[in-house]
Amino acid sequence: MIREIQDQILELKQKNDVAVLAHSYQSPEILEVADITGDSFALSVKAQELPQKNIVLCGVRFMADTIKLLSPEKRVVLPVAEATCPMAEQISPERVLKFKQENPEFKVVAYINTTTELKAVCDVCVTSSSALKIVRNMPEKNILFIPDYNLGSYIKKSLPEKNIVLWNGMCPVHAAVTVGDCKRAKAAYPNAKFLMHPELPQEILAYADVIGSTAAILDYAKNCVEDCVIGTEKSIADYLRITCPDRKFPLLSKRLMCPNMRLTNIMDVCKAVSGEGGEVIEIDEDLRLSAKFPIDEMIRLSK
């Protein structure tokens, strides 16, 4: 059944000139039919180079919005309109503008997990894989980092030369992991590598052997020889168990399941590729130009 839907998607992609982009958290059957898979940085940058006029983005809304910001001439579709990232709205654009007015010496750095309206009032965007490099490359010392307190804390600790002020947002999925989860995993898998996403709190990252984006975690796990405890969404552990069946990939915590990333199924992708399902992303042109600025800065500063 799944194989048949996948074949249909492959056919429709050709017929309708569609490229499918899938975030690393998507299910294996979606990843298998994607033209590009990866973390949020790879998806936003690589979409620009695609020849197809239509893009179906399997992930959450801010990812589809970012692609539309950079490629306005393309028809960008999010297969399930309800697939959003709760962290993206944890600070209002008005609050950012007020901060900027009161602190003109600060630059505002936004995690890419933000709404288009928020990006429009920020100076630079970062992703989990590019954040350290970008903030290090910024000439400014004073930075407000929004909205993720945990990723911000990780950057602040790694770059003590910067004066980084943090907002108190968070990913509810990664923030739910406890020190007890880490202790249990260490006791059960003493020789495994602990691979963790920087959206995890500092007290959890203290147990990490490797800290990286979703794609970096996948890469490391595929290329090492040890078992790996996976400190990010469960889909990554599930995928690794299929691709590397000779090793163990226990999940750091059973709480690591993102309901929003799990909303999209292979049938939704099929409908979106056929042109009948999903939401077509539309962004007002003035808003698009303002929100594109920090994304362009992200790409420039990550080189």
87 binds ligand SF4 (CB under 6 A): yes
Print the binding letters for residues 195-234 with ligand 13P: x by CB under 6 A, - otherwise.
Answer: --x-x-------------xx--------------------
- How far apart CA 265 and CA 3 sit, in angstroms, is 13
Q: What's the min distance (Å) between Cβ of 16 and ligand 13P?
A: 27
Give the residue among 183, 169, 224, 177 at the shortest CA–CA distance from 196. Answer: 177
CA–CA distances in Å: residue 291 to residues 120, 162, 265: 4, 25, 29
CA–CA distances in Å: residue 85 to residues 193, 259, 268: 28, 9, 18
Q: Is 155 exposed, middle or buried (0-12, 13-18, 19+ CB in 10 A)?
A: buried
257 binds ligand SF4 (CB under 6 A): no
For residue 213, the partner it binds in ligand SF4, ligand 13P, none, with Cβ less than 5 to 8 A by kind, is ligand 13P
- How far apart CA 218 and CA 245 sit, in angstroms, is 14
Print the binding letters for residues 275-294 with ligand SF4: x by CB under 6 A, - otherwise.
Answer: --------------------
For residue 260, the partner it binds in ligand SF4, ligand 13P, none, with Cβ less than 5 to 8 A by kind, is ligand SF4
Q: Are 264 and 79 in contact (CB under 8 A)?
A: yes
39 binds ligand 13P (CB under 6 A): yes
Rounded (10°) angle between helices 234-243 and 214-223 = 30
Task: Provide the 3-class DSSP secondary structure of residue 219.
Answer: helix
For residue 39, the partner it binds in ligand SF4, ligand 13P, none, with Cβ less than 5 to 8 A by kind, is ligand 13P
Cα-to-chain-centroid distance, residue 126 = 10
Which is nearer to ligand 13P, 99 or 152 (by Cβ)?
152
Q: What's the min distance (Å) between Cβ of 100 and ligand SF4?
A: 24
171 binds ligand SF4 (CB under 6 A): yes
For residue 128, the partner it binds in ligand 13P, ligand SF4, none, with Cβ less than 5 to 8 A by kind, is ligand 13P
* Binder of ligand SF4 out of 233, 272, 273, 291 (CB under 6 A): 233
* Binder of ligand 13P out of 27, 37, 90, 113 (CB under 6 A): 113
| CB-based contacts of 194, cutoff 8 Å, min separation 6 | 182, 185, 186, 207, 208, 209, 210, 228, 229, 231, 252
For residue 86, the partner it binds in ligand 13P, ligand SF4, none, with Cβ less than 5 to 8 A by kind, is ligand SF4
